[in-house]
Amino acid sequence: MLDLVKAYPGPPGDVLEYLELTQDTFLIYPAADSLILLRAQDLSFFRSLSFWEAFPSSFEDRQVIKHITIDAGHKLVAASLGHLVAIWSPSAAREDFWTVHSSVNLPHQVTCLDLKGGILSVGTEKGISVYTLSLQDHLPAWTRKWTSRLCSPAQVTFSPSLTHLATFSPVEKTVRIFSTAMGRQIQNIPHPRPLRKIGWRAPIDSTRDDLILYTVTWDFALRIFLPVLDSPNHLQLHTTLDASSFTSSSQTEEKTTMVFWPDRRMIQHAVARELSKLHDEDSQSKRLKEIEDGAWDLFVRILVDRTMIIRAIANIDRRPPTLLKQF
């Protein structure tokens, strides 16, 4: 009888998520028709989640998983293969034991996913749909709440409060904002160039419910949209960081890389941990203290020579946000 001694999973590609549990934190990414789970502490292989566990008919399918999403609150991991969506969860009694939680069979190819707070949004070739989780005969099931026609959306993302849903299509230069509850489109945000990525700013203070949207276009320009004072559900542009904001003009001419925003809560915890280790006040401790006290928003770009450039914007939480600072 053979026992598994060592597993060598392939490296992650463009899709990488993480899930924090009580005992471990996992990095999760797709490989062929499976999801790979690595322990974040030492990058050791934990286990794989095979798509055929949810859909046995996909066992000999040559398609690969392209989209995954995490529901941190409900401890759910969702992935799509073709027109199918599978969802896994760890056992409540044993976090090292994972099972298929539920599944969704759609009529069209899936182009994007988001799952938060027990609400699932799926983008397909024909539009976007929102599903809610319920129990049918004591088994979890997904019920479609609404659908809106849209040409092959590239990304869907719920706001932190789950009240809004943002999406965009590669054929447009517009971010569309929908009401999660009603499915009504409440705003179009035009951009000068096609979009690469969008995301909502995660609040550190759970009592705040501000809608703050980040967008990145194909020229690698980051834009920050904040709500209007007298209309908190309407967003307007407040600042832009283009490629030259991170690099010199000579570096900008080289191949540009994607800009991204680290998880603010992770940064806050990391800064607090480092400050607890520093006893002498120097330039490093002063800068970390400024990040902690000022609640800076950090944005990172990694150049082709592996140089990491970090820009910060302060005072986003100030109302009105008329004192935005970039450095």
Evaluate whether 211 touches 273 at the Cβ level (below 8 Å).
Answer: no
Beta pairing partners, 20: 25
Contact residues for 291 (Cβ-Cβ < 8 A; gap 6+): 267, 271, 298, 312
H-state helical runs in the chain: 249-252, 264-277, 283-294
Q: Which pLDDT value is given to residue 255?
A: 57
Q: Which pLDDT value is given to residue 57?
A: 80
Q: Which pLDDT value is given to residue 124?
A: 92
Strands (E), 107-242: 110-116, 119-124, 127-136, 139-149, 155-158, 164-168, 174-179, 185-190, 195-200, 213-217, 222-228, 231-241
Q: What is the DSSP string of 293-304?
A: HHTPEEEEEE-T
If one counts every other C-beta atom within 10 angstroms of the C-beta of residue 191, the result is 20
Sheet hosting strand 195-200, strand order edge to edge: 195-200, 213-217, 222-228, 231-241
Reading the block at residue 304, the tokens are 């082709």
Q: Which pLDDT value is given to residue 85?
A: 93
Tell me the HSE value of 128 on the side-chain side, using a 13 A CA sphere: 26
pTM of structure: 0.83
Q: Give Cα 182 to chain centroid, integer Å.
A: 23
Q: Which pLDDT value is given to residue 40?
A: 85
Please tell me the distance from the alpha carbon of residue 310 to that of residue 281, in angstroms, as a whole number. Answer: 22
Instruction: Return the CATH superfamily for domain 16-137.
Output: YVTN repeat-like/Quinoprotein amine dehydrogenase (2.130.10.10)
Q: Which pLDDT value is given to residue 232?
A: 74
Evaluate whether 226 touches 317 at the Cβ level (below 8 Å).
Answer: no
pLDDT one digit per residue (tens) for the chain, 327 residues: 676 666 667 677 778 888 888 888 889 999 888 899 998 888 888 888 988 888 888 777 778 888 999 998 889 999 999 899 999 998 877 777 888 989 999 999 999 999 999 999 999 998 999 999 887 777 888 999 999 998 889 999 999 889 999 999 988 899 999 999 998 999 999 999 999 999 998 876 654 556 889 999 988 888 999 887 777 778 888 888 877 766 655 554 455 577 888 877 777 777 777 777 777 776 667 777 777 666 678 888 877 777 788 888 877 766 555 555 555
Q: Which pLDDT value is given to residue 275?
A: 72
Q: Which pLDDT value is given to residue 135?
A: 78
Contact residues for 243 (Cβ-Cβ < 8 A; gap 6+): 219, 220, 221, 252, 256, 301
